[in-house]
């Protein structure tokens, strides 16, 4: 089954993707993670992506679409995948339709007033990528899953978050209508904590398809 996770920055896409991937064995493909890995490794793609990510803007479509096309052609995607952070505008969705068949778009709606705190308070494991919020860490500085160091993403600051939310409203939100028109959208809300509350709703929907 080929799934897209759609939602504003901080709505919980990465958190849900990690849970879905673990339960259903689908590869979790996050364009943001791919870019961050490239930045860390100092590749040409990383050099292009870095300035856009720091500014909260979208990395150019031609770079992003090519990365996703290649990734979906890999062996582990043969029986399905979970896309997190792609597509992010109508053009990317149309390109995706030219080489993939999407079965379900999980759209996480959320009260945008929550997002600044969620993102500026987020800490991620430098080793395994697990996401936490400072309010639940009790002062811990290492990952509960793997012991890696917890760090703050460079784009999780008030100025960049504001830019990311503006890009979402302008370019990504129209995808809700795009997938509603295709009748493959599942709308849910990511406002309630903890994240397992939303996962219970999402997995009940996925069980209808995957079992």
Q: In the annotation, is 88 catalytic?
A: yes
Which residue in the shown chain puts its C-beta closest to ligand AP5?
A: 32
Min separation Cβ 211 and ligand AP5, Å:
25
Min separation Cβ 173 and ligand AP5, Å:
12
Q: In the annotation, is 123 catalytic?
A: no
Q: Which residues bind ligand AP5 (CB under 6 A)?
A: 7, 9-15, 30-32, 35, 52-53, 56-59, 64, 85-86, 88, 92, 118-119, 122, 131-133, 155, 164, 190, 192-195, 198
Q: In the annotation, is 164 catalytic?
A: yes
With respect to ligand AP5, which residue has the nearer C-beta, 58 or 104? 58
With respect to ligand AP5, which residue has the nearer C-beta, 92 or 107? 92
Among the listed residues 54, 71, 127, 153, the single catalytic one is: 153
Q: Hunting for tokens 């997995």 — which residue is that? A: 203
Among the listed residues 36, 118, 122, 123, the single catalytic one is: 122
Query: What is the residue-wise DSSP string for 155-172?
Result: T-SHHHHHHHHHHIIIII
Q: In the annotation, is 71 catalytic?
A: no
- Where are the alpha helices (H) located in the chain, listed in sequence order? 13-24, 31-41, 44-55, 61-72, 90-99, 115-120, 134-137, 158-167, 174-181, 195-209
For the range 19-24, what are the long-range contacts, defined as Cβ-Cβ under 8 Å and sequence gap of 24 or more? 19/195, 19/196, 19/199, 19/203, 20/82, 20/199, 20/202, 20/203, 20/206, 21/82, 23/203, 24/206, 24/210
With respect to ligand AP5, which residue has the nearer C-beta, 24 or 52? 52
In angstroms, the CA 160 to CA 72 distance is 29
With respect to ligand AP5, which residue has the nearer C-beta, 32 or 143? 32
Among the listed residues 13, 36, 118, 123, the single catalytic one is: 13
User: What residues form DSSP beta bridges with 133?
Assistant: 122
List active site positions. Answer: 13, 88, 122, 153, 164
């Amino acid at each position: 089954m080929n799934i897209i996770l759609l939602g504003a920055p901080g709505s919980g896409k990465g958190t849900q993707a990690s849970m879905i991937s673990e339960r259903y064995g689908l590869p979790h493909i996050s364009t943001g993670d791919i870019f961050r890995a490239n930045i860390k490794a100092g590749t040409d793609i990383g050099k292009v992506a870095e300035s856009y990510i720091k500014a909260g803007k979208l990395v150019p479509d031609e770079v992003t679409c090519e990365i996703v096309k290649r990734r979906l052609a890999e062996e582990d995607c043969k029986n399905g995948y979970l896309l997190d952070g792609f597509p992010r505008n109508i053009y990317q969705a149309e390109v995706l339709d030219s080489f993939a068949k999407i079965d379900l778009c999980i759209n996480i709606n959320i009260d945008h007033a929550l997002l600044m705190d969620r993102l500026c308070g987020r800490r991620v494991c430098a080793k395994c990528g697990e996401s936490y919020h400072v309010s639940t860490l009790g002062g811990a500085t290492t990952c509960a899953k793997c012991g890696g160091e917890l760090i703050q993403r460079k784009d999780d600051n008030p100025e960049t978050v504001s830019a990311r939310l503006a890009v979402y409203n302008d370019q990504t939100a129209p995808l809700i209508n795009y997938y509603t028109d295709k009748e493959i959208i599942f709308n849910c809300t990511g406002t309630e904590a903890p994240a397992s509350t939303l996962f219970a709703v999402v997995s009940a929907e996925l069980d209808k398809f995957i079992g």
